[in-house]
Amino acid sequence: MITLQDVRSNHNINIMVGKANEYLRARGYTEHGMRHVTYVSHKTKQILHDLGFSERMVELGAIAGFLHDIGNMHNRKHHGVTGANIVFNELRQMGMDIEEVTTITTAIANHEEEIGEPISPLTAALILADKSDAHRTRVHRQHEGPANIHDRVNLAIQDSDLFVDQELGTITLDIDFDQRICQIMDYFEIYLKRMEMCKQAAAVLGTRFRLVINDLELLGHVETQHYKKAEPAVAKPT
């Protein structure tokens, strides 16, 4: 079976990850290269693992996270769908089973808020992992002049963590935000729609999404017991 290590060792894939980041950097976006995809891969894997999905589903999540932004090498618009098509061909050439390929590419095609929906546990985990990656280390800032809003918001995020609490049935994004750099309202100008998507994704996983900034929960409290714990899509490991 194809593993994350096989994918990370693939020369073509590494080139495409780099080219996607180069394209977005040229257009003034934050970092979408090896640091970002490695983070998303790890967090997608962690969410599925902590919620009790099978070892293989956890591995597929890690692979999807690593490959999710490849479509950015062509264009930012609808890069999820573009990337899914590229990834489909690459993984089939590597010999991955068609069922696993379609599980991964469906998640990649649906990870962006412009057209995506968290229609499966793997898709939901990928969305949460991707949208949680806002941090000052993502800012390129090699250009002169005032920082744009994306740079300001990311520079203001001093620390962040995304974690599952199985007992409470929650997935929490906890952010340490420096309001001397910009206002929290600036964060919501960029991320409100993404955070709403995270709420939907968490519900698919049978959990409640919590956004906590500077120790204050900002999306409003909903009783955890209102959410019914979702059964994993595959059997738990024995």
Number of structural domains found in the chain:
1
In a domain, 77, yes or no: yes
Identify which has the larger pLDDT, 230 or 88: 88
45: Cβ contacts below 8 Å, ≥ 6 apart: 58, 59, 61, 62, 65
* CATH assignment of the domain containing 101: 1.10.3210.10
Residue 228 has pLDDT above 90, yes or no: no
Q: At residue 188, what are phi and psi to the nearest 5 degrees?
A: -70, -25
What are the Cα distances from residue 35, in Å, to 15, 31, 109, 148, 190? 14, 8, 21, 21, 21
What are the Cα distances from residue 84, in Å, to 1, 111, 197? 20, 10, 19
Element of type H or E holding 146: none
In a domain, 160, yes or no: yes
User: Which of the four pLDDT bands, split at 50, 70 and 90, describes residue 95?
Assistant: very high
- Could you report the per-residue pLDDT of 151-184, keeping only the tens digit for each? 888 888 988 999 999 999 999 999 999 999 889 9
In a domain, 231, yes or no: no
Write down the pLDDT at residue 217. 92
- Could you report the per-residue pLDDT of 49-94, keeping only the tens digit for each? 999 999 999 999 999 999 999 999 998 889 999 999 999 999 999 9
Tokens of 219: 């999306």
User: Which of the four pLDDT bands, split at 50, 70 and 90, describes residue 234?
Assistant: very low
Write down the pLDDT at residue 139. 72
Residue 188 has pLDDT above 50, yes or no: yes
Write down the pLDDT at residue 161. 93
In a domain, 237, yes or no: no
In a domain, 236, yes or no: no
Residue 142 has pLDDT above 60, yes or no: no
In a domain, 151, yes or no: yes
Parent domain of 124: 4-140+147-226
Query: What three-state secondary structure class fits 87?
Result: helix
Residue 135 has pLDDT above 80, yes or no: no
Write down the pLDDT at residue 221. 56
User: Which of the four pLDDT bands, split at 50, 70 and 90, describes residue 235?
Assistant: very low
User: Which of the four pLDDT bands, split at 50, 70 and 90, describes residue 236?
Assistant: very low
In a domain, 232, yes or no: no
Residue 232 has pLDDT above 70, yes or no: no
Please, which contacts does 103-108 make with residues 24 or more away whose CB atoms are closer than 8 Å? 103/60, 104/60, 104/63, 104/64, 104/67, 107/61, 107/64, 107/68, 108/64, 108/67, 108/68, 108/71, 108/80, 108/83, 108/84
- Could you report the per-residue pLDDT of 111-120, keeping only the tens digit for each? 998 899 999 9
Query: What three-state secondary structure class fits 162?
Result: strand
- Could you report the per-residue pLDDT of 9-42, keeping only the tens digit for each? 999 999 999 999 899 888 877 767 788 999 999 9
In a domain, 26, yes or no: yes
